[in-house]
Chain A
Amino acid sequence: MSNLIKNNRYLILRRVIQIVILFLFFAANKWGWNILVGSLSTSKMFDTIPLSDPYAVIQMFFAGAVISSDLILGFLIVVAFYGLIAGRAFCSWVCPVNMITDLAGWLRRKLKIDEYGKRQLLLPHQFKYWFALVILIVSAITGTAAFEYINPVGILTRGVIFSMGFGWTWIVAIFLFDLFVMKNGWCSYVCPLGATYSIIGSKSVVKVLHNKDKCTACGNCFKVCPEVHVLENVINKKSGFITGIECRNCGRCIEVCYDEALKFNLKNFVKGVEK
C-alpha cells in the first residue's frame, strides 16, 4: 500500500491539486468563498491577486480589444510563475482536461490499442504551435478570441463551476479522440494552450534530472510519458536535464523509475551536468 502511494506520489498530488482548484472555483460560485474566484481564463485569488490565461489575453490582443490593467497584471503573474519556476506544469497540475486525457491514455495502454490497433493518425508535434499561431490570425479576422469558442479547458471548468450545457460533447470527443484516434492526441499535438505553456515554460528552473549511471534502460518512463520525444535524447544516453520544452513536469517518469535515475531538480542550481 505504501509502495502504491510512493509509486504514484506525484500522480496523487496532481489529482489533488487539480480537484482542489476546481473545487475552490466551484465553492466561490456556490457559497461565495473568495479563495479563488472566477475560472481558469481569469480569476482572483483572495480577492486581490489577478490571474489570467496568457493565451486568452494574447488572442484578445490580436482581436483588437483594449486589454485592461487587471488582465495585464494577471498575465504577467502567470507567465512569471510558469516561465521562471514551474515550466509547462499547468498542463499536468492544473488543467482539468488532463484528467480526461490521462484516463484515455491509461485506457489506451490497458486495451493495448497501440500494439494491436490500426496505425494512429499522425501529426507532427509542431502542429500545436502552428495551430496556436493560426488561431491568433483567426482572432484578428473574426474580432474575438477565437479559441475560446471551442476551448475544452474553459468549457470543462465553466461546466463544473457554472453550467455544462452541451459542453460535455467536447469532453467526450476529446476522450474518444485520445483513446481511439491519436495517442496523447489533444494535449501533445493539438492544444494551443499547451503550445503556449510549452513556450512560456521553456526556460523554467524546475526540470527533471536524469542520472545515466543509475539507469538500467528498463523503459518504464517511456511507457508512461505523454511526451515521449522529450525523453528520447536523454534517457540512458547522457546524464542531464530533460530540456525538451514540451515536458509537462508531471513527474510520472520519476515515479515509475525504480532505479531512481530520475528526479526533479532546479536547473540553474545544479553544477556539473548538462543544462
Chain B
Amino acid sequence: MDRRKFLVQMAQAFGASIVGGTVLTGFVKENQDKPLALRPPGALNESDFIKTCIRCGLCVEACKNRKNPYVESGQKVITLKLGAPGDKVPVGTPYFVARTGPCFMCDDIPCMNACPSGALTPEKCKNSKGEVAIDYARMGIAVIDPNTCIAFWGLQCAACYRACPEIDKAITIEWKENKRTGKHAYRIPVVHGNYCTGCGMCEKACVTEKPAIKVLPREVAMGKVSDRYVKGWSKKDQERVKKASTTTTTKTKRSELNPIKNLNRGVKWDE
C-alpha cells in the first residue's frame, strides 16, 4: 500500500471515529447527570460515583439475595435495581425507588461490602469516630410537603414517624396548638438531617396517594450555609467558621461612619 493511501485511510478512520466520539460526548453528557437517583449506602458523591461504578450489579445481587429478605404479600421486596435504558439513572448503575422498595438497612450492609470498585465504600458510612454502621449511611434525606401531609391539616397520622428505623432521632413529632379548634393539637413530623439515612421507609409508609414525605438525594434537597453565618450559641458551629475562607466585608455608605456615629447622625444635641 503506498503511503498516501495509508495516510488517507487512517485520516478517514480517525475522522469517522471523531464523528462517533462527538455524538457520544453529547449523549453521555445528557445521560450522566441524573440528580434524583437514590444510591445504595456508602455511595461516593454522585460525580465520583458514576466515575467509579463499573456497573457490574454485584451490589444489586447482594441486596436481592440478602439473608432476611423482606416479604410483602408473598413477594420479596427488592430494594436495589440496576438501571436499564429508559430508567431514570445512568445505565447500569444501582439505584432504589423508596416508595416501592426502600432500603431495609441490613446491619451487615451486604451491598456496600460486595462492591469491587470502591464506588460504595465504608468511608461514606462512618460517624465522626470512624465507626462503620448502616445508621451512618447518607443515601438521601426525607423531605415533607406541608401542603399534602395530613398531619399539617390537624389529622392524626405519624405513619412516617413510626416507620422510621431511626425513630425519635431522624423523625420527631412536634406538638403545636391548633388554633382553629382551640382544643386540639397538631402533631407535626419533623426530619432531622443529622440522623436521617435516607432509607425511604417513611416514604413507603406515607398514607397519602402520592407520598407527602419523599426521600431526595442530599445534594438536591439540602442547602449549604457559607462561612458567613454561624450559630453564635454553639461552640461546635464556631469551630466550623474558624478557618473561614471569606474575607469580604460589606461596604455601604453607612459603614463609612462607625456604628455609634452612624446611629447618631442628624441627632440634635442639647447645648
Contact = CB atoms under 8 A, between A and B. Distances in A.
Interface string A1-40: 0000000000000000000000000001100100001110
A162 B31 contact: no
B60 interface: yes
A169 B84 CA distance: 12
B29 A142 contact: yes
Nearest to A127: B13
Contacts of A74: 116
Nearest to B15: A130
A145 interface: yes
B28 interface: yes
Given A123-B16, A130-B13, A158-B82, A144 B50 contact: yes
A69 to B, nearest CB: 9
A163 interface: yes
Interface string A130-165: 110111011001111111111000110011011111
B175 interface: no
B91 A71 contact: no
A239 B48 CA distance: 53
What is the predominant secondary structure among interface residues of chain B facing chain A?
A: helix
Contact of B61 (A38, A57, A144): A38
Interface of B: 9-10, 12-14, 16-18, 20-21, 24-25, 27-29, 31-32, 47-48, 50-52, 54-58, 60-61, 64-65, 81-87, 90-92, 116-118
29 contacts: A29-B60, A29-B64, A32-B61, A38-B57, A39-B57, A41-B56, A42-B116, A44-B58, A52-B116, A56-B55, A57-B54, A65-B48, A66-B52, A66-B118, A68-B117, A70-B117, A123-B16, A126-B13, A127-B13, A131-B17, A134-B20, A134-B21, A142-B29, A142-B32, A144-B32, A149-B31, A154-B55, A165-B84, A167-B91
